[in-house]
Amino acid sequence: MIALLQRVSQASVQVGGQIVGEIDAGLLVLVCAEPADTDVQVQKLLAKLLKLRVFSDEQGKMNRSVQDIQGGLLIVSQFTLAADLSLGNRPGFSAAAPPALARALYEQLLRQARASHPKVAAGVFGADMQIHLINDGPVTLPLRIA
C-alpha cells in the first residue's frame, strides 16, 4: 500500500459540495492499494498510522502519535499515488489495484481504524472529491507498506 500522510490542524473532504468527512488536528491519509496488497498490508498501515510520532511534545520534538494527542484520522482513497510518470506526459495507473480489490481494502482499513481509534472520518471511494486542509508544519510524509 502507498500512503501520503499530512499532519493537519484541520481537514475535510467534500463530495458534490457536501462535507462527507472532517477532522480537527490529526492526520489526513491519502491511501492507494496495489495489486499484491492483502489484509496484512492494511493491518501494518493502520498500526503505523496510530503509532507514528509526528506530533510535537512540550519541547517541540515530534514525539507524540495521533493516539497520544487524541487526534483524528481522515482517510481518503487516492489511486493516483500509484502513478507511473516515467514515460510521456500522461500518467499511467497500472500499478494501482483493480477497483474491486482497492475498494475492499479501503473499506477494511476504515473498519479496522474505526474499531481501533475513536476519531475516524473518510472520503467516498471512487468519488470526485475536494479536500480542504491546513497542513500543520508543514509535515507531509510518504509511506509504502510492503
* Cα(9)–Cα(21) distance, integer angstroms: 15
Distance from first CA to last CA of the chain, Å, rounded?
7
| Positions marked active-site | 78-80
* Cα(36)–Cα(38) distance, integer angstroms: 7
Burial degree of 18 (CB within 10 A; 0-12, 13-18, 19+): exposed
